[in-house]
Each structure stands twice: as structure tokens, then as C-alpha cells.
Amino acid sequence: MADINKKEEAEAKASADEETVKAGHEAEEAEKNDQSSSMPDASEAAETEDRKGTDEADNEHGEKPEDESGTVTSNEAKAEDAEKGKPDKKDKQIEELTDKYKRLFAEFDNFRKRTEQEKAGMYDEGERYVLLKLLPVVDNFERALSSVPEELKGSSYVDGIDKIYRSFTDLLKELHVTPIEAAGQPFDANLHNAVMHIEDDSVGENMIVEEFQKGYMFRDKVLRYSMVKVAN
């Protein structure tokens, strides 16, 4: 009877030890599972390290870091965009200034040409004014020579008047002043001023029969119209 009790006690003890060992194994497994769940996977850790190394390499080469969506988020990207816009603004300013310079140059060139024309016109008008003042003097010399009596022709006095008259006419030629042909010529309203008309069948119609005052041309313009008598 005593042996049976000892055997039962030994079996109970062995069963208890077995339960204790089993509980210890289960505790160790649970602890391992907890540690594995809290630690990152080796592949994920390696991928993280590779990504970190790539980002560092990009930064060393001047490239801009990007977030998960691929969008540049650094302030340097904004500065780069601003720098890209500046050349367009400068080119536009250069174009505007160039256009303004061309317009100002054209306006100044037109002003210069207009001023030169006005000066030339004023000079021509001044010449015409002076020459018109000299023409009556020439007319008086012609009247004086045409009214010299026959007995005085060839005298030193008349020769002196004739020389002065010729000096005037030579001066007018040098100044591009030439007389307008009138007597015996067809009447031309652009050259002649008809102050008298007569009926004369011996001459052609609209012909100049007499010149009262000689007309002159100054270069290609009329300085003074010829005052004439015209036959109808």
C-alpha cells in the first residue's frame, strides 16, 4: 500500500514538472513573438537604408529631395522657379527699351530732316527777298539806257552806265537769276502776267506783242512774272 502511494506521488510530481516545462516554453515563445512584432523586418530596414543612401547621394549632386508623392518641397525648388522666370522678364524689358529707343531715334531723325528743310526754305526766301529788291535797280538802268539820245550814245558817260548795268546782270547770272522771254512768245500764265489785251490780226492769237516789265526766274521758280500785252 505504501508503494502504491509513492508511485502516485512520483507520477504527480512528474506531471507537474512537465506542465512547468511546457509553461516555460510557452512563455519563451510568447516573448519571442513580442520581440519580433516590435522589431522592423530586415528587408524593410535594408530598403530604408538604401533609400536614405540614395537621398544623401542626390543631395551631394545638387538634386532636390522629394516626398513620397514625388513633389519637390524644399525652398530651393521655389527659388529655382523664381530664377527661371527672371530671364523672361529681363528679355521683355530689353525688348521694350529697344523699341522705345528706335521710336525716339526715328522721331529725332524726322525732326532733324524737317529742321534742315525749314532752314533751307528760310535761306531761299531770304535770297528771293534780296533779289526782288535788286530787280528795280536793274529796271532803272535799262530804262536809262533805252532813253539815251542818239548824240550821246558812245560817250564815256553812257559807257559807264552800261558797264554798271552789265555788272548787275552778270551778278544775277551768278546767283542763278535769268530773264524770262516774253515779246514774240506765246502767253504762258505760269510765266507771264497779262495786263493788257489788244485785237491784232497781224499776230497770232494769244501772242505777246509787248513787254512792260521784264520777268525773272530764280533757279527753277518764278522770281517775278513778266508784265505783258497780249493779242487776242
Q: What is the C-alpha to C-alpha distance for residues 207 and 21, in angstroms, rounded to an integer?
A: 158
Crossing angle between the packed helical segments 156-174 and 75-146, to the nearest 10 degrees: 160
Average pLDDT over residues 148-156: 86
Asked if residues 186 and 208 have their Cβ atoms less than 8 Å apart, the reply is yes
Q: Tell me the whole-structure pTM to 2 decimals.
A: 0.50
pLDDT tens digits for range 157-183: 899 999 999 999 999 999 999 999 988
Please report, to the nearest 10 degrees, the dihedral formed by the alpha carbons of residues 126, 175, 180, 158 taken in order.
110
Average pLDDT over residues 6-29: 62
Written as nine digits, the cell of 168 is 548787275
The more confident residue out of 23 and 230 is: 230
Asked if residues 207 and 183 have their Cβ atoms less than 8 Å apart, the reply is no
| Strand 221-224 to 192-198 pairing | unpaired
Q: Residue 38: its pLDDT value, please? A: 46
Residue whose entry in the numeric block shows the C-alpha cell 558817260: 157
Lowest-confidence pick of 24-33, 60-69, 175-184: 60-69
Which residues are CB-neighbours of 216 under 8 A, at least 6 positions away?
131, 135, 172, 177, 178, 179, 180, 222, 223, 224
The more confident residue out of 8 and 184 is: 184
Phi, psi of 230 (to 5 degrees): -120, 140
Is pLDDT above 70 for 56?
no
Is pLDDT above 60 for 190?
yes
Q: Residue 6: its pLDDT value, please? A: 56
The more confident residue out of 132 and 123 is: 132
Asked if residues 177 and 218 have their Cβ atoms less than 8 Å apart, the reply is yes
The more confident residue out of 215 and 44 is: 215
Is pLDDT above 50 for 63?
no
**Residue 199 CB burial class (10 angstroms; 0-12, 13-18, ≥19):** exposed
Q: Residue 150: its pLDDT value, please? A: 85
Instruction: Give me the chain's average pLDDT, please.
Output: 76
What is the DSSP secondary-structure string of 194-211? EEEEE--TTS-TTEEEEE
The more confident residue out of 90 and 26 is: 90
With cut-offs at 50, 70 and 90, classify the pLDDT of residue 19: low
Q: What is the C-alpha to C-alpha distance for residues 232 and 221, in angstroms, rounded to an integer?
A: 27
